[in-house]
Structure 1
Amino acid sequence: MAQKVLFIDRDGTLALEPPVDYQLDSFKKLVFYPKVFTYLRKIAIELDYELVMVTNQDGLGTDSFPEHTFWPVQEFIIKSFENEGVVFKEVFIDRTFPHENADTRKPGIGLLRHYLTEDYDMDNSFVIGDRLTDMELAKNLGANGVFINDETHLGTDEITIKKTDLSDYISLETNDWEKIYEFLKLSNRVGKIHRKTKETDVKIELNLDGTGESDIKTGLAFFDHMLDQLARHGQMDLIIHVNGDLEVDEHHTIEDTAIALGEVFHNAVGNKLGIERYGFCLPMDDCLAQVAIDFGGRNWLVWDADFKREKVGDMPTEMFYHFFKSFTDGAKVNLNIKAEGTNEHHKIEAIFKAFAKSIKMAVKRDVEKMVLPSTKGIL
């Protein structure tokens, strides 16, 4: 799984920025941000982010900002956080002045290009800082922004307009590290995948903590209807767009959608801290569907459902088993599915609704007990 990163500014974010010259060049100017030790420590210990410090220090090494005034304070800051269990994997310091327009200076990404690889998950990474240049950095990295709002840098029309332009990249605006911790702890679990083969082109986006919004287009109307049940009753946001070789038959479209959907679920669930893990029994008119799920990391399917019709809508009934088997392979989950009844449409719709409810139950998190639900210590 790709690594998430917190790119954290220093002055105005970890320590209060000196109000006159903005240079933190003496210990008498050093005041740590309220609550930063308590909650950055909890972030470092409880959450799965790599911590990286990124700071602009205008003209460091020049007569106006000599090295010997900077490094004692910088080293003290780093050591103070290390003593509290907060370790920065890397520290990046740019020395250029604003007028130099260096690519290494925030919001430039010259120092950070090695994070733009498949080893790092920029979609779920954050830049935390008190300047709009920090939010621009988030935009340039393809990450998200947490804006530390101390009114010092706001007020002019130009800055206000610029802040509005960056609103899509500001996920949280606050001056409280406790709120930052709570936001990151319960940040939306999202995932997306693009799976392309000679037979299908599948694009899926998932937000496990959504509201039930969906945009489903697979080319199979009944399949779309069933996947919409997953979003609505699982209260997750789901976009699925599929172009498949339906001129051959439905098999590849359904199978590849299930594989990709399973993989995006596996990625979105993430480290599984605090989840209930297990999840549903659902009646629908003449039918009763039972779907039990375990996000335990091992794939398995037990299937007990028979159909008397060859198709429901435009979907072959033999593909229902195959859909759920492919999903378990991609999501690395156990599924136990049983359904009985007389109306075939009701039967399969009840299965999908119960499937959605079981997922909703299993991925629910207890925010007060963010522990792994396993005696093995790993899922």
Structure 2
Amino acid sequence: MKKVLFIDRDGTILVEPQPSQQVDSLEKFQFVPGSITGLARIARELDYELVLVSNQDGLGTDSFPEPTFWPAHNLMYDILRGEGVEFAREHIDRSFPHENLPTRKPDIGMLAEYLDPANGYDLPNSFVIGDRLTDVELAQNLGCQSILIREEADERAALTTTSWEAIYQFLRLPARKAVVQRDTNETKIRIELNLDGQGRPQMHTGLGFFDHMLDQLSKHSGVDMNITVQGDLHIDEHHTIEDTAIALGEAFAQAVGDKRGLSRYGFVLPMDDVLAQAAIDFSGRPWLVWDAEFKRERIGDMPTEMFYHFFKSFSDAARCNLNIKCEGQNEHHKIEAIFKAVAKAIKMALVRDANKMEIPSTKGVL
């Protein structure tokens, strides 16, 4: 299916003159800084169809005669075309705001063809790029995402920025998110994961110490994790911990995707009163090496025998190679250091390089 970038003109590609808000002469013609380079890289490197969508108030009337519009508009196209930027279509609404026509942004009267499933457009993975809130509203009406070019953020926009470089980077490295729902006769688990988050944890497993460890995993990896578990704790903790690890591993495997640009490896040696080491490789080959011993039967409400089992189940489901070693005396500190070390390793391994979008393997596949 075809992904589309619906791109506004004034304030997005060209500087919008004030107070007229009309590019009606070549003297007013000026590109937004970075727009040419950003669009050229997007056109050259990414798989999006480019579509221009613009409101031009009163175009063709005495307030905005057409002969004053086309010279600057055509010059914009000529310059962009020289940099390899081709727009598949343009949609220009000429109405005034007070007319409330269905063709005027944020309404979608001009864009009906993109809503027809027969035309094969992937709207959920398409974007509107513009500098006004009406562009965000247009995206909502189309059922796609939005990128807002302005200083003030809007929570509805997938990205708010004033930089075309940031727009390119965002589109080049799409958000890595996953939602996993895993229901069995023993547990019901829902996990929402954002690998490119801020390390915000929301844990509700019914086991306080397990929540505390998962908090460390989220916080120190920078991965947003929302985990809700309804388990058969009246029987045992085993199913809750094991199934959470499986679901979390599945979420990681789903969110990581095809691993293009991935750093792949990570390791860390954090210090407390213990020495913990962790290395991880999202290689597609599950394997766990575990060198850590615990003398206590439980820490908090979590059986220590489940520590190994958690990471083994996670490794199997995430299809990653995980190597863990820990030495020390304090049992609580040891397992907390392990979770933090694994988290730091994950954070390092998930780093992507937008300028090297290759599979990190001589095999060409992971």
TM over 0.5: yes
Whole-Å separation in 1 of the counterparts to 2:65 and 2:311: 64
Name the counterpart of 1:204. Answer: 192
Hey, what does 1:282 align to over in structure 2?
A: 269
**Matched-pair contact (CA < 8 Å) for 2:7–2:51:** yes
Structure-to-structure mapping, 1:329-340, within 5 angstroms = 329-339=316-326
Deviation at 1:9, TM superposition (A): 0.9
**Distance between the aligned counterparts of 1:343 and 1:349, measured in 2?**
10
Rounded to whole Å, the distance in 1 between the matches of 2:48 and 2:39 is 11
Following the alignment from structure 1 to structure 2, what is the Cα–Cα distance between the partners of residues 272 and 347?
Answer: 31
Aligned mates of 1:78, 1:242 — CA distance in 2? 54
**Cα distance in structure 2, aligned partners of 1:118 and 1:224:** 42
Instruction: Specify the alignment match of 1:84 in structure 2.
Output: 83
Q: Which amino acid aligns with 1:278?
A: Y
Task: Assess, with a 3 A threshold, how the Cα gap between structure 1 residues 239 and 23 changes in structure 2: closer, same or farther.
Answer: same
Matches of 2:122 and 2:230, distance apart in 1: 28
Task: Give the unaligned 5+ runs of structure 2.
Answer: none
Looking at structure 1, the residues matched to 108 and 310 of structure 2 have their Cα atoms a distance apart, in angstroms, of 42
For the structure 1 residues 282 and 15, does the alpha-carbon distance in structure 2 shift closer, same or farther, using more than 3 Å as the test?
A: closer
1:172 aligns with: 160
| TM-score of the two chains, using structure 1 as the length reference | 0.70
For 1:39-118, what aligned pairs fall within 5 Å after superposition? 39-46=38-45, 51-57=50-56, 81-88=80-87, 91-94=90-93, 97-109=96-108, 111=111, 113=115
Secondary structure of 1:280's match? strand
The aligned counterpart of 1:130 is 131
CA contact (8 A) 2:272 2:337 kept: no
16-25 or 79-88, larger mean C-alpha shift: 16-25
The code of the aligned residue for 2:149 comes to: F
Q: Which residue of 2 aligns with 1:191?
A: 177
Is the CA contact (8 Å cut-off) linking 2:12 and 2:149 kept in structure 1?
no
- Structure 1, residues 232-255: CA drift from partner, whole Å, max 9, x if none? 332444333333343454344334
Instruction: Give SS of 2:265's match.
Output: coil
Partners in 2 of 1:197 and 1:229 — Cα distance? 25
Larger mean CA deviation between 191-200 and 215-224 belongs to 191-200
- What SS does structure 2 have at the residue aligned with 1:261? helix
Structure 1 position 225, deviation (Å): 1.2
TM-superposed deviation, 1:361? 1.9
What is the Cα deviation at residue 319 of structure 1? 3.6
CA offset at residue 224 of structure 1? 0.7
* In 1: Cα distance, 2:139 partner to 2:240 partner: 36
Structure 1, residues 198-217: CA drift from partner, whole Å, max 9, x if none?
A: 5313132435352x442322
2:8 corresponding residue in structure 1: 9
Note if contact 1:200-1:245 (Cα within 8 Å) is conserved in structure 2.
no
Q: How does 1:209-220 map to 2 (within 5 A)?
A: 209-210=197-198, 212-220=199-207
CA contact 2:189–2:247 (8 Å) conserved in 1: no
**Residue of structure 2 equivalent to 1:301:** 287
Deviations 1:17-75 (A, max 9, x none): 57697677898986544432222222344567664433335577999989999899878
Q: Which amino acid aligns with 1:320?
A: F
| 2-structure distance, mates of 1:246, 1:92 | 59
Q: Which secondary structure does the structure 2 equivalent of 1:279 belong to?
A: strand
Corresponding residue number in structure 2 for 1:155: none
Taking a change above 3 Å as real, the CA distance of residues 308 and 374 of structure 1, as seen in their structure-2 partners, is same
Q: Could you tell me whether the CA contact under 8 Å between 2:124 and 2:144 is conserved in 1?
A: no
Q: Which amino acid aligns with 2:134?
A: T
Partner of 1:156: none
**Correspondence 1:242-257 to 2 at 5 A:** 242-257=229-244
CA distance in structure 1 between the partners assigned to 2:16 and 2:254 by the alignment: 38
Give, in whole Å, the separation in 1 of the partners of 2:325 and 2:258: 29
Closer/same/farther in 2, CA of residues 239 and 65 from structure 1, 3 Å limit: same
8 Å Cα contact 1:56-1:93 kept in structure 2: yes
Q: Deviations over 1:111-154 (max 9, x none)?
A: 35569x996555xx6532133311333455473432257xxxxx
Whole-angstrom CA distance in 2 between matches of 1:52 and 1:43: 13
What secondary structure sits across from 2:155 in the alignment? helix
List per-residue Cα deviations over 1:218-273 (Å, max 9, x = no partner): 11112111111112332444333333343454344334433443344345546655
CA contact (8 A) 1:278 1:293 kept: yes
Q: Distance in 1 between matches of 2:312 and 2:145?
A: 34
